[in-house]
Amino acid sequence: MSEAMIRVRDVHKSYVRGRQQVEVLHGLTLDIPNGDFVALMGPSGSGKTTLLNLVGGLDRPTSGQIEVAGVRIDQLGSGQLARWRARNVGFVFQFYNLMPVLTAERNVELPLLLTGLSAAQRRKSVAVALEVVGLTDRARHKPKELSGGQEQRVAIARALVSDPTVLICDEPTGDLDRRTADEILGLLQVLNREHGKTIVMVTHDPKAAEFARRTLHLEKGQLLEQAA
Amino acid sequence: MLKQTIAMTALGLRSVPERWGPSLVIIVGLAGVVAVFTALLAMAEGFRSTLESAGRADVALVLRGGSSAELNSGLSRDQGEIIKQAPGVLTGPDGRPLASAEMIVIAELFKTGEQTGSNITVRGVEPAAFALRPQLRIVEGRGFQPGLRELIVGKGITGQFQGVAIGETLRMRGSDWTVVGSFQSGDAYESELWTDVEVAQTTFNRRGYSSVRLALDGAAGLQTVTDGLAADPRVNVDVETEQQYYSGQTRQFRATIGILAGVVTAIMALGATFAALNTMYAAVGARTREIATLRALGFGGTPVVLSVMIESLLLALAGGVVGAVLAFVLFNNMAVSTLGSNFTQVVFRFAVTPELVQRGLVIALAIGMVGGLLPAVRAARLPVTAALRAA
């Protein structure tokens, strides 16, 4: 692992709930090196998903700095942030978030529609991504014709296809049984170890966290410790 | 951006079958608006074209001064002759002025299957009446013979009234008439019964005429006739072309229908706009997670707005087309009759013209646009982080 891919400096994030201002993150500072695989754990409300959304560029901090691959994303406007996400981030969600009307390959192709690639180039990239997740034979199937594990593999292929800098995984195995969950986590591990992808994953599941290189514990908006 | 918009629109449209219920609301609502709007104006259009096509620009209609319609006009036999001799009138093949002094009376006829009578115009005409209306032809039977109580019946009446089939005897105002033919003219005359003016005068005990029609000699003919008759102290008449006369007769009706169509359409359009809003909010609601996911992947806000708008416009267009087709199938060419300005029935046909259809579709698209805009903006402003976890 080399220098920090993700730099979080004194980040505060607060929301307005009703009439109250609730601060979720209290001056959080964190470095995640290139090629790391980090599990974020903590009780509900500890701010782990908030941190994940900030690092993934889905949200902006109230104050503080966030730098990903040398870009200060806390300073980007929403349009710039959307374009930045398209190029740099692959998302994997707990409930897969596939488009039900599209086949697996069309789902995987979606992020490539934001690039200048030709249809032929897109087809090629989609085929590679589906091969990486082991679903070449399911390319023409729609989500409802796939199992939960297969759906999550399609979602991972979609996250990978544009070769992003960072993979952001929000409870990627939260909806899966143990065995399937382990397969998915194994896949993420391969992507990290063999393809060098930097992965940040939120999870409730200590077993899932074991697949990461390290686990960060959050509580009440602050980092508790760093477990190796 | 184009690629994004196409992809998002395609996604939205492909999921329409899963949202048939709400999507149908927009289609049915707009079909109703467009059908009603088109039908109302088709009625006005049909009435207008029926009456206006009856009028020719090269035929003058002479009425007693101050009369607004043929029914309340009256000219004596002498005045009739004077008018026919006016300068500016074409001469017929027989060397006499090409003119027809005519008399109308109202008779009560019964619609098929109805007990209450309707007023029908009976028109007594001179032989030149047919030359003055070249569009009129006998389509069944024969013409009436001068001097006999014979009638020919307009096509608009034959289908709708009792006792007007060829060979039947029709009793009107205490006298019996034989129906000998039917005629077609494609205009308001089709709602009349025609006979010889002399016979009509003696039978109905009238001495004069209601109006005189004159074939005008050239473009200046109308002015010449008007000036000539104005200078003659024996007559006090109004002269206008037939076309002007009939156009004037329909103005009031067209204005009324226009306002009616406007008010009804506005009320229905308001309802349809809310229906469209409801549909598109539902569509955006059903697709919350999908839209948030695409936004997370990097799709922009503008393609979201455009895709929701396009979906709304396409649904509205579908509704508009359904409405226009309904109006066309149900109403185009439908024959109806109404009381014309002579207090007699005018039979006319609804005319669903391309222009009316176009106006209907424009209204549908406008409603689709308004109905889609707010939901589209809401879709684009969805808080991505919360919406990603929406059920």
Splitting chain B (391 residues) into consecutive groups of 10 residues, what average pLDDT does each group show? 85 83 86 90 82 80 90 91 92 90 90 82 93 92 93 88 89 90 87 93 91 92 93 93 82 81 87 88 86 91 90 93 93 74 66 90 93 90 81 58
* Structural domain count of chain B: 2
Of B342, B356, B337, B343, the residue nearest B50 (C-alpha): B337
CA distances for B193 relative to A148, B70, B86, B109, B180, angstroms: 81, 15, 28, 11, 11
B220 and B331 both lie in a single domain: no
- The closest CB to that of A110, out of B14, B297, B385, belongs to B297
Task: Give the pLDDT confidence score for residue B334 in this predicted structure.
Answer: 80
Task: State phi, psi for A71 to the nearest 5 degrees.
Answer: -110, 130
Task: Give the pLDDT confidence score for residue B345 in this predicted structure.
Answer: 62
* Single-letter amino acid code for the residue at B174: G
Given an 8 Å threshold on Cβ–Cβ distance, is B301 in contact with A58?
Answer: no
The C-alpha angle A61, A62, A65, rounded to 5 degrees, equals 50
DSSP, collapsed to helix, strand or coil, labels residue B238 as strand
Count the Cβ atoms, other than its own, within 10 Å of residue B102. 23
B119 and B224 both lie in a single domain: yes
The domains located in chain A, with CATH, are 34-58+86-227 (3.40.50.300)
B162 and B200 both lie in a single domain: yes
Instruction: Round the average pLDDT of chain A to a whole number and report it.
Output: 92
Q: Rg of chain A over CA atoms, in angstroms?
A: 17
Give the Cα separation of A126 and A160 in Å (integer): 9
Task: Determine, yes or no, domain membership for B244.
Answer: no
Task: Give the pLDDT confidence score for residue B172 in this predicted structure.
Answer: 85
DSSP, collapsed to helix, strand or coil, labels residue B359 as helix
B46 and B78 both lie in a single domain: no
Give the Cα separation of B293 and A107 in Å (integer): 11
Structure tokens belonging to residue B318: 């579908």
DSSP annotation string for chain A: --SEEEEEEEEEEEEEETTEEEEEEEEEEEEEETT-EEEEE--TTSSHHHHHHHHTTSS--SEEEEEETTEEGGG--HHHHHHHHHHHEEEE-TT----TTS-HHHHHHGGGGGS---HHHHHHHHHHHHHHTT-GGGTT--GGGS-HHHHHHHHHHHHHTT--SEEEEESTTTTS-HHHHHHHHHHHHHHHHTT--EEEEE-S-HHHHTTSSEEEEEETTEEEEEE-
Single out the residue in B206, B235, B264 at which a domain terminates. Answer: B235
Task: Determine, yes or no, domain membership for B307.
Answer: yes
Question: Which residues, at least 6 apart from B168, have a Cβ–Cβ distance to it below 8 Å?
Answer: B178, B179
Task: Determine, yes or no, domain membership for B60.
Answer: no
Q: Looking at the complex, does the CB of residue B252 fall below 8 Å from at least one CB of chain A? A: no
Structure tokens belonging to residue B350: 């609804």
How do beta strands A37-41 and B237-241 pair?
unpaired
Q: Looking at the complex, does the CB of residue A77 fall below 8 Å from at least one CB of chain B? A: no
B102 and B223 both lie in a single domain: yes
Task: State phi, psi for B235 to the nearest 5 degrees.
Answer: -125, 150
Given an 8 Å threshold on Cβ–Cβ distance, is B297 in contact with A111?
Answer: yes
CA distances for A63 relative to A14, A83, B179, angstroms: 9, 22, 97
Single out the residue in B235, B263, B283 at which a domain terminates. Answer: B235
Structure tokens belonging to residue A209: 């966290």
B194 and B70 both lie in a single domain: yes
Which residues from chain B sit within 8 angstroms of residue A95, using beta carbons? 289, 389
Residue numbers of the domain that contains B375: 2-52+250-390
CA distance to partner chain B, nearest, from residue A113 (Å)? 7
Is residue A13 a contact partner of residue A59, using CB atoms and an 8 Å limit? yes
- The closest CB to that of B298, out of A49, A83, A102, belongs to A83
- The closest CB to that of B385, out of A53, A78, A102, belongs to A53
The beta-strand segments (E) located in B79-216 are 99-110, 117-125, 137-141, 150-154, 169-172, 175-184, 192-196, 211-215
Q: What is the reported pTM?
A: 0.72
B217 and B347 both lie in a single domain: no
Q: Looking at the complex, does the CB of residue B298 fall below 8 Å from at least one CB of chain A? A: yes
Residue positions counted in chain A: 228
CA distance to partner chain B, nearest, from residue A189 (Å)? 22
- The closest CB to that of B11, out of A87, A101, A114, belongs to A101
Structure tokens belonging to residue A138: 């399911």
Report the interhelical angle of B354-380 vs B20-53 (nearest 10°).
150
Give the Cα separation of B347 and B340 in Å (integer): 9
Task: Give the pLDDT confidence score for residue B191 in this predicted structure.
Answer: 86
CA distance to partner chain B, nearest, from residue A132 (Å)? 20
Q: pLDDT: is A214 or B119 the higher one?
A: A214
Question: Which residues, at least 6 apart from B171, have a Cβ–Cβ distance to it below 8 Å?
Answer: B163, B177
A202 pLDDT above the threshold of 60: yes
Task: State phi, psi for B143 to the nearest 5 degrees.
Answer: -75, 160
Given an 8 Å threshold on Cβ–Cβ distance, is A113 in contact with B15?
Answer: no
Task: Give the pLDDT confidence score for residue B335 in this predicted structure.
Answer: 76
Which residues from chain B sit within 8 angstroms of residue A152, using beta carbons? none
B124 and B181 both lie in a single domain: yes
- The closest CB to that of A86, out of B7, B11, B298, belongs to B298
CA distances for B12 relative to A105, B1, B56, B277, angstroms: 18, 16, 56, 16
- The closest CB to that of A82, out of B11, B292, B295, belongs to B295
The C-alpha angle A16, A19, A21, rounded to 5 degrees, equals 40
Task: Determine, yes or no, domain membership for B241.
Answer: no
Q: Looking at the complex, does the CB of residue B385 fall below 8 Å from at least one CB of chain A? A: yes
Given an 8 Å threshold on Cβ–Cβ distance, is A97 in contact with B298?
Answer: no
B75 and B172 both lie in a single domain: yes
A227 pLDDT above the threshold of 70: no
User: Would you state the torsion angle of the CA atoms of residues B179, B184, B187, B190, taken in this order, to the nearest 10 degrees?
Assistant: 10
Given an 8 Å threshold on Cβ–Cβ distance, is A113 in contact with B3?
Answer: yes
Which residues from chain A sit within 8 angstroms of residue B384, using beta carbons? 58-59
- Per-residue burial over B306-331, b = 16 or more CB atoms within 10 Å of its CB, e = otherwise: bbbbbbbbbbbbbbbbbbbbbbbeeb
Task: Determine, yes or no, domain membership for B59.
Answer: no
Share of chain A above pLDDT 90, in %: 81
Task: Give the pLDDT confidence score for residue B253 in this predicted structure.
Answer: 75
Task: Determine, yes or no, domain membership for B320.
Answer: yes
Q: Looking at the complex, does the CB of residue B14 fall below 8 Å from at least one CB of chain A? A: yes
Task: Determine, yes or no, domain membership for B109.
Answer: yes
DSSP, collapsed to helix, strand or coil, labels residue B232 as coil
CA distance to partner chain A, nearest, from residue B4 (Å)? 7
Give the Cα separation of B231 and B225 in Å (integer): 10
Is residue A214 a contact partner of residue A39, using CB atoms and an 8 Å limit? yes
Of B3, B16, B2, B1, the residue nearest B312 (C-alpha): B16
If residue B335 lies in a helix (H) or strand (E), which one and from where to where? strand B335-339
B160 and B282 both lie in a single domain: no
Q: pLDDT: is A161 or B275 the higher one?
A: A161
Q: Looking at the complex, does the CB of residue B231 fall below 8 Å from at least one CB of chain A? A: no
A214 pLDDT band (50/70/90 cuts)?
A: very high
Which residues from chain A sit within 8 angstroms of residue B292, using beta carbons? 97
- Tell me how far apart the 2 most distant CA atoms of chain B are, in Å: 95
Q: Looking at the complex, does the CB of residue B301 fall below 8 Å from at least one CB of chain A? A: yes
Give the Cα separation of B278 and B25 in Å (integer): 9
- Per-residue burial over A47-71, b = 16 or more CB atoms within 10 Å of its CB, e = otherwise: bbbbbbbbbbbbbbbbebebbbbeb
Single out the residue in B235, B261, B282 at which a domain terminates. Answer: B235
Q: What pLDDT digit, counting tens, does each position of A77-132 carry?
A: 988 999 999 999 999 999 999 998 899 999 999 999 988 899 999 999 999 999 99
Give, as one character, the DSSP assignment of residue B350: -
Give the Cα separation of B295 and A5 in Å (integer): 24
Task: Give the pLDDT confidence score for residue B380 in this predicted structure.
Answer: 86
Give which of B18, B295, B382, B385 to mutate to test A binding, by max A Cβ within 10 Å: B385
Given an 8 Å threshold on Cβ–Cβ distance, is A58 in contact with B298?
Answer: no
Q: How far from chain centre, in Å, is Cα B383?
A: 52
Give me the mean pLDDT over the A191-200 stretch: 94
B35 and B156 both lie in a single domain: no
* Single-letter amino acid code for the residue at B318: A
B92 and B216 both lie in a single domain: yes
> Closest-CA residue in chain A for B299?
A82
Task: Determine, yes or no, domain membership for B259.
Answer: yes
Given an 8 Å threshold on Cβ–Cβ distance, is A99 in contact with B3?
Answer: no
Q: Looking at the complex, does the CB of residue A101 fall below 8 Å from at least one CB of chain B? A: yes
Can you tell me the ipTM of this complex?
Answer: 0.92
